[in-house]
């Protein structure tokens, strides 16, 4: 990072220029901070994998300005269109057959015949994509296996040394990554739970195909989103040396509460930031209170099980 960078980060225009010259950009979105590159430039995309230290080439999400631009790179059927109409701009990613193999290069798709697309809701993400004028691929800006950054400072700490520009969008309102669904052969499957819930998707697209989650989403490692300290989930209290991330009234120290009022949205928004903050004080472990599994709770529990190393 240049030493003369303004404290509040670079403008969307400067970020767009960096993307055009094949450099990486810290991109704020409503879910988590992304590490962005020009989707059509394989050298730039390769830099993302290098900066994150990804063990293998997982497919990336192409971020575009609107549904028309999405359909320029992906083939949408009626269900995909209905989902886009209902949830974009916003935290839903749609995996569909690829239409344009150049604008989202092979490396960005990990050689698949499908492409993941989303229209982010964050105004600064939209400003960068608009100024750049094409699809931008962006995984979360963390180094591989670590919690996703949800503040500008955390994003800089993770991958700031690898970028040509960094845009500050403030703390991420949602706090967990987008929901990923595939819409292939007329079937809608949930590949990664996120802030758009299963129930909300089924209300628009009908019943989800069984057994979708994890199967066709190659990027889902068992130990993921993990801080350095061991994470113990569904804990009813802190053991010696542990920090307890509580949920609900009167559970643990309010400073470490995911949501004192037991609100799932608030808990999602606080999750990765508190995991990181707890980790910084080098506890013997991080205990987390039980979180209800309904609605947004599915995504929170998914990330926690991975942080604890439980999910295959």
Residue stretches of the annotated binding site for L-threonine:
31, 138, 178
Q: Kindly tell me which of 61 and 80 has the beta carbon lying closer to ligand TXA.
A: 61
CA atoms of 284 and 46, how far apart (whole Å) = 36
- Enumerate the known binding-site residues: 31, 54, 58, 63, 118, 138, 140, 148, 178, 192, 225
Which residues fall in the annotated binding site for ATP? 54, 58, 63, 118, 140, 148, 192, 225
Q: Which of 18, 51, 65, 138 binds ligand TXA (CB under 6 A)?
A: 138
**Pairing mode, if any, of strands 114-118 and 92-97?**
antiparallel
Residue 140 within binding range of Mg ion, rule CB under 5 A: yes
> To 5 degrees, how large is the angle CA 165–CA 171–CA 172?
90
Shortest approach of ligand TXA to residue 65 CB, angstroms? 14
Q: In the complex, which residue's CB is closest to ligand TXA?
A: 219
72 binds, among ligand TXA, Mg ion, none (CB under 5 to 8 A by kind): none
Structure tokens at 218: 């190659």
Is 114 a binding residue for ligand TXA by CB under 6 A? The answer is yes
Burial class (CB in 10 A: 0-12, 13-18, 19+), 1: middle
**151 counts as binding ligand TXA under rule CB under 6 A:** no
* 40/234 Cα distance (integer angstroms): 43
Find the binding residues for ligand TXA in span 34-73 (CB under 6 A). Answer: 34, 58-61
Least distance to ligand TXA, CB of residue 246, Å: 26
Stretch that binds Mg ion, among 137-145, 162-170, 251-259, 271-279 (CB under 5 A): 137-145
Q: Tell me how far, at minimum, the Cβ of 283 lies from ligand TXA, in Å.
A: 26
- Please state whether the peptide bond connecting residue 89 to the residue before it is cis, i.e. omega within 30 degrees of 0: yes
Shorter beta-carbon distance to Mg ion: residue 140 or 301: 140
Pick between residue 23 and residue 220 the one whose CB is nearest to Mg ion. 220
> What are 123's two structure tokens?
């105004």
The answer to whether 286 and 227 have CB atoms below 8 angstroms apart is yes
CA dist., res. 227 & res. 99, Å (int): 38
Q: Does 11 bind ligand TXA (CB under 6 A)?
A: no
Q: Is residue 231 within 8 Å of 152, Cβ to Cβ?
A: no
Which of 220, 273, 276, 306 touches ligand TXA (CB under 6 A)? 220
Question: Strand, coil or helix: what is 1?
Answer: coil
Query: 252 in the Ramachandran plot: left (φ > 0), alpha (ψ -120 to 50) or beta?
Result: left
Does position 179 bind Mg ion by CB under 5 A? no
Nearer to ligand TXA, 60 or 287 (CB): 60
Write out the E strands in 174-300: 179-184, 187-192, 231-232, 242-245, 285-288
278 contacts ligand TXA (rule: CB under 6 A):
no
Nearest residue to 171 via CA among 190, 148, 197, 189: 148
Binding footprint of ligand TXA, residue count (CB under 6 A): 29
Residue 182's closest CA among 118, 125, 135, 119? 118
Positions touching ligand TXA (CB under 6 A) are 29, 31-32, 34, 58-61, 91, 93, 95, 109, 112, 114-116, 138-140, 177-178, 180, 191-192, 216-220
Positions touching Mg ion (CB under 5 A) are 140
């Amino acid at each position: 990072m240049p030493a003369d960078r303004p404290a509040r980060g670079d403008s969307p225009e400067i970020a767009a220029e960096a993307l055009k010259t094949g450099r990486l950009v810290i991109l704020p979105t409503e879910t988590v901070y992304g590490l962005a590159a020009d989707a059509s430039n394989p050298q730039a995309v390769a830099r993302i994998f290098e900066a994150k230290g990804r063990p293998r080439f997982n497919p990336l999400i192409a971020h575009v300005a609107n549904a028309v631009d999405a359909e320029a790179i992906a083939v949408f059927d009626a269900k995909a269109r209905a989902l886009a109409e209902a949830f974009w701009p916003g935290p839903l990613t749609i995996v569909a057959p690829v239409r344009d193999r150049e604008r989202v290069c092979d490396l960005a798709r990990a050689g698949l015949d499908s492409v993941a697309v989303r229209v982010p809701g964050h105004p600064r993400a939209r400003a960068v994509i608009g100024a750049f004028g094409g699809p931008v691929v962006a995984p979360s800006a963390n180094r591989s296996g670590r919690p996703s950054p949800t503040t500008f400072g955390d994003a800089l700490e993770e991958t700031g040394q690898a970028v040509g520009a960094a845009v500050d969008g403030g703390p991420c309102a949602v706090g967990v990554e987008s929901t990923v669904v595939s819409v292939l052969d007329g079937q809608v499957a949930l590949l990664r739970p996120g802030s758009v819930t299963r129930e909300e998707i089924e209300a628009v697209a009908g019943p989800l195909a069984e057994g979708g989650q994890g199967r066709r989403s190659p990027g889902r490692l068992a130990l993921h989103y993990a801080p350095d300290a061991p994470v113990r989930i569904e804990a009813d209290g802190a053991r010696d040396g542990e920090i307890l991330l509580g949920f609900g009234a009167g559970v643990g120290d309010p400073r470490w509460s995911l949501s004192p009022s037991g609100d799932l949205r608030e808990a999602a928004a606080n999750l990765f930031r508190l995991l990181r903050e707890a980790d910084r004080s080098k506890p013997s472990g991080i205990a987390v209170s039980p979180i209800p599994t309904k609605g947004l709770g599915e995504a929170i529990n998914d990330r926690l099980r991975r942080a604890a190393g439980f999910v295959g």
